Amino acid sequence: MEYQEFLDRKDRSMQNQNDVAFSGFDISKKLYDFQRELTLWSLKKERSAIFADCGLGKTFMQLVWADCIADHTGGKVLIITPLAVSFQTVREGEKFGIEVINRRTGIHQGDRIVVTNYERLHYFDTNDFLGVVCDESSILKNFDGETRKSVTEFMRKTPYRLLCTATAAPNDYMELGTASEALGEMGFVDMLSMFFKKIEKTLSRKDEHRGGVYRFRGHSEKAFWRWICSWARAMRKPSDFGFDDGEFRLPPLNVREHIVSARQKSDGMLFDVPAINLHEQRDELRRTINERCELAADLINTHHHPAVAWCHLNDEGHMLERLIPGSVEVEGSDSDEFKEEAFMGFARGDVRVIVSKPTIAGFGLNWQHCAHQTFFPSHSYEQYYQAVRRCWRFGQKRPVTVDVISTEGQANVLANLKRKSDAAEKMFERLVALMRDELRIERNDEYTRQEEVPAWL
């Protein structure tokens, strides 16, 4: 690559004119206006991320993106999804006339757009593809280091890349660095050195794994978010970017908190006190399995509608399956085939109640037919958010009820969860506001360039 070409690719005005061939695709009849703008923007960028909330049509956008890339290049595109989401992608493709093939162990002759799971990526060769999509890309941080590294290496050799997720964890800067590295924008370490300063004190094992705790350098926070805006778009609803929300309005969400008392108190205690450290929290969860599961089962058994019973421990899942008639438990040790069949059965209505963990079924699955969940809280805001959003998402027609079942000693857990929720909401609002400003500038630039574009475009 010549140096001048490199500079041209870095210039935003040149990027907006890059790949004008994509502007010729007539996708307006299939996509909503905001989906069309996001898709065309990502096509022009070549390597980008779309952080759009649950139910805004990320699957359809990435399918149209893959279809355009395949047509434009004549090559193949790979869509990588969480476990059991592949069948949904194939079904969405059939709905809109885009052929997608689900492959488990490599491509076949004549494949054009292929979908597979993250766990099966090692069966595929990056040299076979010109485009790659990571669906629910925020799940990458849940994998071990080797899996994350293999995904990044796979994408690094692919010219066209797209990351899609509902929650980019805007208060988790490390995750954004991982996304940037996968897209080839800036390396994770380079991002830290440019925008952040390390605080020597390590607060947790998670912080230790990341190399410590970081804060923004001086006045670099605004520059950081402007840099994010250069390769990502974030949206909670269409009006965030000036479009009409139309039918994209969420029904009411009814969160009911239930507190149970442990029949078996801690050694030497007459009553429960808040669990402070991790050992005390785990001890309390173990002592209250019966009480929490019995209450969750009672709440679900009061009706005959679909429901999801979320858990974190295998013992919780086993007990919930025994107490809830017609339920199916999906746990980590189950085969991929069993998991997919169980989730498809629930989506079809063949299974009334699914019992599983947010780490297994909390990403990507569309369960708008269900309007009731029970949830045992943890410190993970993302797990709670993703679990609730399996049902409470655009396209849901009924009010959604979430029964949060905790214990007398879990007051700190609930408070921490609420704090994280408020922080993430404020951070996302700021990110969307900055992106609105960037989009306004781009639209003005596009308007001033209209006379320069040939009439046939």
Q: Is the pLDDT reported for residue 68 higher than 70?
A: yes
Structure tokens belonging to residue 122: 């090692």
d(CA 65, CA 178): 22
**396 lies in a domain?**
yes
The answer to whether 424 touches 380, Cβ cutoff 8 Å, is no
- Which range, of 99-103, 108-112, 431-435, averages the lowest pLDDT? 431-435
The CA distance from 395 to 403, in Å, is 21
% of the chain surpassing 90 pLDDT: 41
353 and 225 in a common domain: no
pLDDT band at 415 (very low <50, low <70, confident <90, very high): confident
Is the confidence at residue 8, as pLDDT, over 60? no
- pLDDT, residue 207, reads 45
Is position 331 within any domain?
Answer: yes
How sure is the predictor about 133, in pLDDT bands with cuts at 50, 70 and 90?
A: very high
Q: pLDDT tens, 332-373? A: 899 888 998 999 999 999 999 999 999 899 888 999 999 999
Q: Is pLDDT larger for residue 124 or for residue 441?
A: 124
| Residue 90's CATH number | 3.40.50.10810
Q: Which residues lie across from 77 on neighbouring strands?
A: 113, 131
Number of residues that this document lists for the chain: 457
Is the confidence at residue 251, as pLDDT, over 50?
yes
Q: Which of 204, 231, 246 is the last residue of a domain?
A: 246
Give yes or no: residues 233 and 266 share one domain: no
What residues are paired with 404 via a beta bridge?
A: 257, 375
Per the domain annotation, does 437 fall within a domain? Answer: no
Same-domain check for residues 183 and 270: no
Looking at the structure, tell me whether residues 43 and 106 fall in a common domain: yes
For residue 274, what pLDDT is reported? 57
Check residue 27 and give its pLDDT. Answer: 59
Confidence band of 168 (pLDDT split at 50, 70, 90)? low
In whole numbers, what is the pLDDT of the chain averaged over residues? 82
For position 410, which CATH number holds? Answer: 3.40.50.300
Q: What range defines the domain where residue 365 resides?
A: 253-417
Q: Where are the alpha helices (DSSP H) in 288-399?
A: 289-301, 314-323, 336-348, 358-361, 381-389
pLDDT on residue 4 = 53
pLDDT of residue 285: 81
pLDDT of 64 above 90: yes
The residue-averaged pLDDT of 414-418 equals: 83
CA distance from start to end of the chain: 28
Rounded to an integer, the average pLDDT of 244-249 is 89
Enumerate the H helices of 166-220 as residue ranges.
173-183, 188-195, 205-209
Question: Is 263 found in the same domain as 226?
Answer: no
87 burial (CB, 10 Å; 0-12 / 13-18 / 19+) is: middle
Rounded CA-CA distance 201/216 in Å is 15
pLDDT of residue 275: 56
Per-residue model confidence (pLDDT) at position 63: 94
Which has the minimum average pLDDT: 188-202, 248-262, 282-296?
Answer: 188-202
Q: Is the pLDDT of residue 300 over 50?
A: yes
In this structure, is residue 446 part of a structural domain?
Answer: no
Q: Which of 198, 214, 246 is the last residue of a domain?
A: 246
Q: Is residue 453 part of a domain?
A: no
Both 191 and 222 in a single domain? yes
Is-contact 299 376, C-beta < 8 A?
A: no
Q: Is residue 150 part of a domain?
A: yes
Residue 454, domain member (yes or no) = no
Question: What is the pLDDT averaged over residues 263-276?
Answer: 58
Same domain, residue pair 225 and 88: yes
Domain end position, chosen among 194, 227, 246: 246
pLDDT at 396 over 50: yes
201-215 average pLDDT score = 54
Q: Determine which of 281-290, 366-375, 441-450 has the lowest per-residue pLDDT on average.
A: 441-450
Residues 145 and 279 in one domain: no
- Evaluate whether residue 423 is within a structural domain: no
Q: With cut-offs at 50, 70 and 90, classify the pLDDT of residue 323.
A: very high
Q: Are residues 262 and 240 in the same domain?
A: no
The helix-helix angle for 221-231 and 173-183 (nearest 10°) equals: 40
Domains: count for the chain: 2
User: For the sheet containing 307-310, what is the strand order?
Assistant: 253-260, 400-407, 372-375, 307-310, 353-356, 327-329
Q: Which residue has the higher pLDDT, 76 or 82?
A: 76
Same domain, 239 and 257: no
Instruction: Mark whether 110 and 192 lie in a shared domain.
Output: yes
Which tokens sit at 407?
Answer: 């214990």
Q: Decide which of 431 and 280 is more confident.
A: 431
pTM of the shown model: 0.81
Least confident of 57-66, 194-203, 411-420: 194-203
Do 225 and 368 have their domain in common?
no
For residue 332, is it left (φ>0), alpha (ψ between -120 and 50) or beta? alpha
